[in-house]
A and B are shown apart, each in its own frame.
Chain A
Amino acid sequence: MRGLRLIQNETIKIYKRKVFWIMLIILIAISILWAFIALKTAEDHSHWKQDLQAQNSADSKLEEKADQDMAAITEQKNEMAMNKYRLEHNIKPLYSNTVMGFVDSSTEIASIISIFLVIIGGSIVSQEYSWGTMKMLLIRPIHRWKILLSKFLSVVLIGIAYLMINFIISFIVGLIFFGGDFGSTRFLYEHHNMVQDVSVFFHLLQVYGSHLADIIVITAFAFMISTLFKSNALAIGLSIAIYYGGNLVSVILSAFNEEIPKYIFFLNLGLYDHYVGGGSPLVHTSVTFSACILAVYFILFMLISLLVFEKRDVAE
């Protein structure tokens, strides 16, 4: 009971500040811009069946020329299989100038939400020190670990709220801009050279779930740095660098050893990439492996934060 009230306290301290609302406005603005981009780059898809057929026949001609490498050939084969499946089952591709297509493409915006959450999570502990309110917080009859945990949980709650808001806004903006064309309700992807056919809502749930897992782990990292060094600048800077510079680190490390990158937490972010999207930058890994690595790091970050916070003398 008191635990819930602690989380309530911490969420209030997030949403009663201007920063929270500025982030929300940025999120809405980007969603609307995104819709304009979708409008501008929109292709006419009224004859999508003919388009796919034309593409397949072009691909089959290319295939006859045997001077391409194996990966390219496999990719082409998969694309042809997917197109064939679409034609057979009458499943239209998810064009971004349809409502559901726009909602799907708007999940890209979620990487900005990760940054917002790193900013919030990376300052939620250190700002109490800079405001001088940490001592006011810690003279209450509540164990320190409970206070720290309530702070982390409230950041996760805010993360879920932002993701939900992003979904709702993209849906509304999609309806306003492309209301006439709802788009496909099925989503196809290729996994182990097989065409997978799922509901588009299930697909979106997995995209958002994957983003939430990213947010939780990267925020836990920012949270730990913020707790250790009482500096939000360091926590935010380092977390964002890792979030965006991860691939560079992967390239450098791979040059020395193929195995090491697999065990680095930020290279395992983006669980759904194992199925859809650019694919995981790691070779020979599975989604289960990545999930386990993320879980281990998450527990490590939280334990370090809790232990340091529990022992620290509050004196300034």
Chain B
Amino acid sequence: MSEAIIQVRHLTKRIKQKNLVEDLNFDIHRGEILGFLGPNGAGKTTTMRMMLGLTSITEGDVTIGGHSIKTEKEQALERVGGIVENPEMYKFLTGLDNLKHFQRMYRDIPDSRIADVVEMVKLTDAIKNKVKTYSLGMRQRLGIAQALLHSPDVLILDEPTNGLDPSGIRELRDYLKVLASNENIAIFISSHLLSEIEMICDRVLIIQKGKLTDSQVVNETQETQQVVAFEVDQKQKAIEVLGKTFAHLTFTEADEVLLVETDRETIPKLNATLTQHNIKVYGIKGVQKSLEDRFLELTGGNPS
């Protein structure tokens, strides 16, 4: 993996003896989409606010492109785009005036860049209307536009799917994927709903009560290993037969089916073995053992 654009070290936020965020350590790399998952109140927003210099850091540090957010805030924020909670804009200004407003806060953003980002978030037709006439989805897109305005290396997005309808969420996801791969941008995205981000994240950090519970949840398992359900007439016999041939795999019996976690190439072999032993196979189905299950296992509760 490429260089770490963001390094978070021993990041701690303490208010009145209480640790809101405690000793977080992680890196974010270029081209990577890193998910940040945790129940509401776990410390996601506080962490992101510290990374963006909105909230002071009690202990530890965050460096962005090698610049500390504590001591070199101006340089550190030069390469970051962000949305914190809802991207509130100046409602009495037009979308374009809002973008121009933020353009003036950076060095040398050409006007053509504004046209480009507006095009990218598909707001060209409405950009000259006042923001108070915008729908929630349009405001969210304008929020993305302002975050991308200065072609940042990193995007920090706090619950960017809040208030979006399913098609809006899908659009955003597709768009973020393109950004990460085509523009080599690192994206750090938080959510309290795993299902919204699991499809796009390369890795997911899970935070609970201010601490990271598992930083090694990698989403690659979906492609190599998957859980497959076999619907067969004699479950006991099937387990016996398959257990002999495929000793390295574990087979479990569920309600109507037989479950096994395996890779794609093994599935036809398993099927062949079953038919050889005259076990009737009515159906084979891939079951997503999703991050959701692991998230629930790890946090031991309801994610929302």
Binding site for B on A (CB under 8 A): 2, 5-6, 8-9, 12-13, 16-18, 131-133, 135-143, 311, 313-315
8 Å CB contacts to A: which residues of B254-294?
none
Contacts A141-B77, A143-B73 given; indicate if A132 touches B88 (C-beta within 8 A): yes
By a CB distance below 8 angstroms, the chain A residues around B73 are 141, 143
A226 to B91 Cα, complex, angstroms? 21
Closest B residue to A312 using CB positions: B56
Contacts A2-B107, A6-B105, A313-B55 given; indicate if A136 touches B87 (C-beta within 8 A): yes
Can you list 21 A-B contacts (CB < 8 A)?
A2-B105, A5-B105, A12-B97, A13-B101, A16-B97, A131-B90, A131-B91, A132-B85, A132-B86, A132-B88, A133-B90, A135-B54, A135-B85, A136-B146, A139-B77, A139-B84, A140-B105, A141-B76, A314-B54, A315-B54, A315-B55
9 closest A-B pairs by beta carbon, nearest first, are A132-B88, A5-B104, A141-B77, A140-B105, A141-B78, A313-B55, A314-B54, A141-B74, A139-B52
Minimum CB–CB distance for B164 against chain A, Å: 17
Contacts A9-B105, A139-B80, A141-B75 given; indicate if A16 touches B93 (C-beta within 8 A): yes
Minimum CB–CB distance for A157 against chain B, Å: 16
A311 to B54 Cα, complex, angstroms? 10
Contacts A17-B92, A132-B88 given; indicate if A8 touches B49 (C-beta within 8 A): no
Tell whether, in the assembled complex, residue A9 and residue B80 are in contact, meaning their CB atoms are under 8 Å apart: no
Tell whether, in the assembled complex, residue A140 and residue B102 are in contact, meaning their CB atoms are under 8 Å apart: yes
Q: Which of A12, A13, A18, A131 contacts B88 (CB 8 A)?
A: A131
A2 to B74 Cα, complex, angstroms? 13
By a CB distance below 8 angstroms, the chain B residues around A311 are 56
CB of B169 within 8 Å of the partner chain: no
Minimum CB–CB distance for A232 against chain B, Å: 16
By a CB distance below 8 angstroms, the chain A residues around B78 are 141
Minimum CB–CB distance for B187 against chain A, Å: 16
Contacts A16-B93, A17-B92, A135-B84 given; indicate if A8 touches B104 (C-beta within 8 A): yes
A211 to B12 Cα, complex, angstroms? 50
Tell whether, in the assembled complex, residue B104 and residue A142 are in contact, meaning their CB atoms are under 8 Å apart: no
By a CB distance below 8 angstroms, the chain B residues around A315 are 45-46, 49, 54-55
